[in-house]
């Protein structure tokens, strides 16, 4: 198969180290296999606070990370931090996208924007949120979704302060997290932290919840494929990937 014609080449800017191995894992799970490059961006503090997340997603941080993807052959780039995009508001997200597109001359998006598009793709109107973040940060995610007329019927915030801690949660803990924070009136369950592993458990999560489950790394990868115009229905990666746009 001609790689230039079919294989997606996606760059992911990822703050720090937690669950970044989900991206090469997802790249191997899709067909055709994708080519991904993960760049770890710097930040002052690993903390789920508005101040730390705002600094983490600053245009200069993104420019510094994008420098490592220059001349890399990527077709699209993702800023893969949900919270370090939505805490900056819609104008801040637009600035992040514009910054990356100007720096790399390829389409760009963020995980927060990927969630908004993914909710629409699975035809969900009412959602439940299972957030690892503290409550004040989780509320900003709810406010972000409401810009897109997405109704949040329940929101759980678990107050985990660092991404590093979130990244240590294993399969049983993540499935329990989904079951415990579901809501019967929700069309879909959203789990918005890119520090949380999910790639290998997407189908299990949907069985546990009994409905579509959208996770941060899942929607980020889906959005990257969409930007490359190489998004095709896939099995084994949850309702989102099985849905034809």
Q: How far apart are CA 138 and CA 131, in angstroms?
A: 6
pLDDT at position 160 = 64
| More confident call, 48 vs 197 | 197
* Mean pLDDT estimate for the chain: 92
109 and 23 together in one domain: yes
CB-facing half-sphere around the CA of 180: CA atoms within 13 A:
11
Q: How far apart are CA 16 and CA 48, in angstroms?
A: 13
Give the distance between the most distant pair of CA atoms in the chain. Answer: 48
Using 50, 70 and 90 to split pLDDT, how confident is the model at 62?
A: very high
133 and 88 together in one domain: no
Q: Is it the case that residue 107 has pLDDT exceeding 90?
A: yes
- Tell me the two tokens of residue 52: 């730390």
- List the one residue out of 132, 128, 87, 133 whose CA is nearest residue 111: 87
25 and 91 together in one domain: yes
pLDDT, one tens digit per residue, over 206-228 is: 999 999 999 999 999 999 999 99
* Residues written for the chain: 245
Residues contacting residue 143 through CB under 8 Å, at least 6 positions apart? none
Q: Is it the case that residue 166 has pLDDT exceeding 70?
A: no
Write the CATH number for 14: 3.40.50.12500
28 and 80 together in one domain: yes
Torsions phi, psi for 64 (to 5 deg): -60, -45
Q: Which domain holds residue 129?
A: 122-215
26 and 102 together in one domain: yes
Residues contacting residue 117 through CB under 8 Å, at least 6 positions apart? 219, 223, 226
């Amino acid at each position: 198969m001609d790689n230039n014609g079919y294989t997606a080449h996606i760059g992911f800017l990822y703050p720090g180290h937690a669950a970044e191995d989900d991206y090469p894992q997802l790249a191997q799970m899709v067909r055709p296999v994708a080519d991904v490059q993960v760049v770890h961006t710097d930040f002052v503090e690993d903390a789920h606070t508005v101040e730390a997340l705002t600094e983490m997603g600053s245009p200069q941080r993104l420019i510094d990370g994008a420098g490592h993807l220059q001349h890399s052959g990527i077709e699209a780039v993702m800023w893969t931090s949900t919270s370090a995009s939505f805490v900056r508001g819609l104008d801040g997200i637009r600035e992040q996208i514009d910054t990356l597109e100007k720096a790399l001359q390829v389409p760009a998006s963020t995980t927060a924007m990927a969630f908004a598009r993914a909710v629409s793709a699975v035809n969900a109107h009412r959602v439940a949120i299972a957030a690892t973040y503290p409550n004040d940060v989780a509320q900003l995610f709810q406010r972000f979704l409401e810009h897109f007329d997405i109704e949040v019927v329940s929101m759980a915030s678990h107050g985990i302060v660092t991404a590093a801690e979130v990244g240590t949660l294993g399969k049983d803990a993540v499935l329990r997290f989904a079951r415990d924070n579901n809501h019967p009136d929700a069309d879909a369950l959203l789990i918005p932290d890119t520090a949380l592993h999910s790639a290998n458990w997407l189908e299990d999560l949907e069985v546990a919840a009994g409905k579509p489950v959208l996770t941060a790394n899942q929607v980020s990868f889906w959005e990257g494929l969409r930007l490359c115009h190489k998004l095709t229905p896939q099995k084994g990666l949850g309702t989102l990937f099985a849905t034809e746009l």
